């Protein structure tokens, strides 16, 4: 998300009349948003084949996900500032071109390191593209009802795009090659650029336009160090010097980031936004749910293909129940929130999502889809829908217009950062469980039988699902303790303008 609220009040030099091209521009922005959302899920389906082709180890497989989410989440706030100050159209175009180039590099990767680098580069340009697109919508749609419709389309793409990514990833991986899961972004970006250059108007904010570059660099380095520390624990153990050093360095760098934000005149993330009790609760909830969710989706995909033997296309279809649950709960939550408020829905959502995740803990070599996997995923999706919809409104409670963009951007960033840290942590837990299982059952010096290897994989995935359920349930506890806002205090029109 970008500094959308600042965009609203920015002087653009244009007429106060609505731009006649705004609905066409909405289509252009929807295309770009679909590309960014597709990339989050389409790679999960491609990972098993990419892992085999490029020789990526089990300990390092999470970097295919975390390299993207780390760069995207760590630079998202800075990307929003760049879009507002440098020009939203210009930033949008650069983001689209860069995303396409990074996708091409990833699609042509010859080793794991090249793929990880390409994914990180996608995150960098995604951090420009996504907030610029959102800011353009806020500038172009100034009338309340029209803005609500525009952001409804944007939000639908954000939610439904995940399902499209799963299916498209399955089709491309099974009938073409896993590389096309990245290369497909090139024609999508080309279409967005061809339409955006003649149609999208330029706009920018005026006044104080200084960037908090030190803050952006320090927070990204700190998060990367933490994730790398978690990864080192998978191979060297939690008590290894390298593990402790990287985790310790990450904590120190994040502490330095807080000091920078407290002292700079143009902070990337004003501390007054975070320190509010309700918003702080919303951000912690978002981070914890993201931590449990991103990693669990990765292991579900691996389980479906490596253990149950699903084809990539079958795995894509088998992952859809989560999206169905999210869409159902999102509609219900939108209707219930004015009557119940955010807190009851979020607490109930965390419990439902944790229950669905915990059901996945009991997977076996021949677990049935209709009797076990589908009910668990629907329950997980319902919980996520009841959690995420109120979060959008809660993050904006009591925020002045000047800070509303930073508040909404921080919500998206916390989810991405949580996903990065959670994926690394859960991958380490899973790898450790696999190693411990094999060590206790396999005769030293003899390779494990195929059945033992599968059983070890299940042990690792089950451990990851258990911890993911715990993280999501803890998010519900955070909501119950910290969130005190009443239903009457929730924003209405402005909240709708920041969903997505």
11-35: pLDDT as tens digits: 444 445 777 788 888 888 888 888 8
Average pLDDT (362-374) is 95
Q: Which residues of 9-24 are buried (b: 16+ CB within 10 A; e: fewer)?
A: ebebeeeeeebeebee
Q: Which pLDDT tens digit goes with each residue over 369-388?
A: 999 999 999 999 999 888 88
Residue appearing with tokens 């993201």: 290
Please indicate whether residue 159 or residue 352 has the higher confidence score (pLDDT).
Answer: 352
Q: What is the pLDDT of residue 327?
A: 84
| Sequence-ordered list of residues with C-beta below 8 angstroms from that of 216, at least 6 positions apart, any chain | 74, 75, 77, 78, 268
Q: Which pLDDT tens digit goes with each residue over 460-473?
A: 999 999 999 999 99
Q: Which of 283, 278, 335 is nearest to 77 (CA)?
A: 283
Q: What is the pLDDT of residue 493?
A: 45
Burial class (CB in 10 A: 0-12, 13-18, 19+), 321: buried
Q: What is the pLDDT of residue 5?
A: 39
Phi, psi (degrees; rounded to nearest 5) at 353: -65, -40
Question: 471: how many CB neighbours lie within 10 A of its CB?
Answer: 24
Is residue 497 very low, low, confident or very high in pLDDT (cuts 50, 70, 90)?
very low
> Six-digit token pair at 415?
């989810």
For the question of whether the overall pTM of this predicted structure is more than 0.85, the answer is no
Q: What is the pLDDT of residue 158?
A: 64
**What's the rounded Cα separation, in Å, for the pair 189 and 294?**
25
pLDDT of 159 over the 70 cut: no
| Helix H or strand E segment including 105 | helix 88-107
| Sequence-ordered list of residues with C-beta below 8 angstroms from that of 361, at least 6 positions apart, any chain | 462, 465, 466, 469
User: Which residues of the chain are in CATH 1.20.1250.20 domains?
Assistant: 1-207, 267-500
Average pLDDT (448-457) is 88
Class of 1-207 per CATH? mainly alpha
Q: What is the pLDDT of residue 401?
A: 58
Average pLDDT (273-277) is 84
Class of 267-500 per CATH? mainly alpha
**What's the rounded Cα separation, in Å, for the pair 104 and 189?**
11
Burial class (CB in 10 A: 0-12, 13-18, 19+), 148: middle
Q: What is the pLDDT of residue 16?
A: 58
Ranked by mean pLDDT, which of 158-162, 368-372, 412-416 comes out on top? 368-372
Is residue 223 very low, low, confident or very high in pLDDT (cuts 50, 70, 90)?
confident
| Sequence-ordered list of residues with C-beta below 8 angstroms from that of 446, at least 6 positions apart, any chain | none
């Amino acid at each position: 998300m970008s500094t959308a609220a600042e965009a609203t009040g920015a002087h653009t030099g244009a007429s106060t009349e609505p731009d006649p091209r705004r609905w066409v521009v909405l289509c252009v922005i929807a295309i770009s948003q679909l590309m960014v959302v597709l990339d989050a899920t389409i790679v999960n389906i491609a990972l098993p084949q990419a892992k085999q082709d490029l020789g990526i180890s089990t300990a390092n497989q999470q970097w295919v996900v975390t390299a993207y989410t780390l760069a995207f989440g760590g630079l998202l706030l800075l990307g929003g500032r760049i879009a507002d100050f440098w020009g939203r159209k210009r930033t949008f175009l650069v983001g689209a071109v860069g995303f396409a180039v990074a996708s091409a590099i990833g699609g042509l990767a010859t080793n794991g390191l090249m793929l990880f680098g390409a994914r990180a580069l996608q995150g960098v340009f995604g951090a420009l593209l996504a907030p610029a697109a959102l800011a353009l919508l806020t500038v172009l749609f100034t009338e309340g009802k029209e803005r609500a419709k525009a952001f409804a389309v944007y939000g639908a793409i954000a939610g439904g795009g995940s399902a499209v990514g799963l299916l498209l990833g399955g089709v491309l991986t099974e009938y073409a090659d896993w590389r096309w899961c990245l290369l497909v972004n090139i024609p999508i970006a080309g279409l967005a650029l061809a339409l955006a250059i003649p149609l999208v108007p330029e706009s920018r904010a005026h006044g104080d336009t200084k960037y908090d570059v030190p803050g952006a660099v320090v927070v990204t380095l700190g998060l990367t160090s933490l994730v790398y520390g978690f990864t080192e624990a998978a191979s060297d153990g939690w008590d290894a010097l390298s593990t402790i050093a990287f985790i310790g360095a990450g904590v120190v760098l994040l502490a330095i980031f807080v000091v920078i934000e407290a002292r700079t005149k143009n902070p990337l993330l004003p501390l007054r936004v975070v320190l509010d009790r309700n918003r702080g609760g919303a951000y912690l909830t978002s981070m914890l749910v993201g931590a449990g969710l991103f990693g669990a989706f990765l292991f579900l995909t691996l389980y479906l293909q490596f253990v149950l033997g699903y084809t990539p296309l079958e795995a894509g279809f088998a992952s859809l129940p989560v999206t169905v649950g999210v869409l159902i709960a999102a509609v219900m939550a939108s209707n219930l929130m004015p009557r119940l408020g955010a807190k009851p829905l979020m607490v109930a959502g965390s419990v439902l999502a944790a229950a669905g995740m915990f059901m996945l803990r009991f997977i076996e070599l021949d677990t049935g889809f209709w009797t076990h996997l589908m009910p668990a995923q629907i329950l997980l999706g319902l919980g996520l829908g009841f959690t995420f919809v109120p979060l959008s409104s809660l993050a904006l409670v009591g925020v002045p217009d000047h800070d509303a963009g930073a508040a909404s951007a921080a919500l998206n960033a916390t989810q991405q950062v949580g996903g990065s840290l959670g994926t690394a942590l859960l991958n380490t837990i899973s790898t450790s469980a696999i190693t411990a299982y094999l060590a206790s059952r396999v005769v030293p010096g003899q390779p494990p039988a195929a059945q033992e290897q599968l059983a070890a994989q299940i042990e690792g995935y089950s451990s990851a699902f258990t911890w993911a359920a715990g993280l999501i349930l803890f998010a519900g506890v955070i909501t119950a303790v910290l969130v005190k806002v009443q239903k009457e205090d929730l924003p209405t029109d402005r909240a709708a303008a920041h969903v997505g």
